[in-house]
Amino acid sequence: MGEREELYRLPREELLSGGHQGISGYGGTIAVRQALKALGPNTVIVVPASAVATVGGLNTSTAWRIPFVHSLFECAPAMATGIRAALEIKGKTGVTLVSFAGDAGSADIGFQSLSGAAERDEDIIHVCYDDEAYLNTGGQAGGTTPAGAQTVNTPQGKPTGKKDLLSIIEAHGAGYVASASIAFPLDFIAKLRKAKERKGFRYLHILTPNPATWGFAADQTIHIARLAVDCGLWPLFEVEDGGRRVTYAPVRRVPVADYIRAQGRFRHLTGDQIAAMQAQVDASAGGGR
């Protein structure tokens, strides 16, 4: 089936309704919308303190059309695990349990909970949406912020590199692990559908650019997300039962400089620094994550 036909076959129903509070061009909201097309209405979503936790609205209003649970920052996978156990006791089957956390809620403060759930092979899907900063508290750098990126607390650029959470979860022996991009929705949706059909712990990590903290115009989000893949910095792959497979290989890689120069957070980098990044991408057979 062609890409266009596949797009037409996606459910029209929006499980995150219009009127939500996501800011213009925010990749996290786009990832939620795409994910819910794949997961469907029989899903419980657990979101820890994060930008996406605020998107649905405050107090008495909500844009979520599926059960939404707001967990503490550090424990979304543990809470999803508990809800799965409660559903089992009640004899409710066929419900997809998703913990949907930001990069800090996955790689930093949420890591112990995520690692425990992966190691115990809990029957949940964890999606890490990665905007490479602590957005909800103003855009501070965290473990997945890439080297050189300016943030409010790394004004001269982050001195250390991006934590490779995909490989860390892969090393836990999880049955299904995949990278994804909001610029490749069919790839993301196919991976989530595959994950949904499986049992045990499943992990997806999607790159979700954010205009304000990355420094680009709000209508460029998908373009930036695509450049990250096409320059080789964010390869798309999946790991099923230990076997790694590339799911999209750019016909021709674009220069890393195209991606870097399109973002204000890297504006201070020199040509030599960007050339070093290019050399790193070129040297890594898997695409330079």
Ligand X SMILES: Cc1ncc(C[n+]2csc(CCOP(=O)(O)OP(=O)(O)O)c2C)c(N)n1
| Residues contributing to the site for ligand X (CB under 6 A) | 28, 49-52, 73-74, 101-105, 131, 133-137, 142
Q: The tokens of 52 are what?
A: 């996406």
Residue nearest to ligand X (CB): 102
Give min distance, CB of 134 to ligand X, in A: 4
Question: CB-wise, 50 or 278, nearer to ligand X?
Answer: 50
Give min distance, CB of 109 to ligand X, in A: 6
Residue 267, classified by CB atoms within 10 Å of its CB into exposed (0-12), middle (13-18) or buried (19+), is exposed
Of 30, 3, 93, the closest CA to residue 224 belongs to 30
Q: The tokens of 27 are what?
A: 């990749």
* Cβ neighbours of residue 188 closer than 8 Å, sequence gap 6 or more: 31, 34, 35, 38, 180, 181, 182, 204, 206
Give min distance, CB of 124 to ligand X, in A: 17
Give min distance, CB of 99 to ligand X, in A: 12
Give min distance, CB of 47 to ligand X, in A: 9
Give min distance, CB of 50 to ligand X, in A: 3
Buried b (16+ CB within 10 A) or exposed e, 156-195: ebbeeebbebbebbbebebbbbbbbbbbbbebbbbbbebb
Question: CB-wise, 135 or 239, nearer to ligand X?
Answer: 135
Question: CB-wise, 101 or 239, nearer to ligand X?
Answer: 101
Reduced to 3 states (helix: H, G, I; strand: E, B; else coil), residue 71 is strand
CA distance linking residue 118 with residue 219, whole number of Å: 36
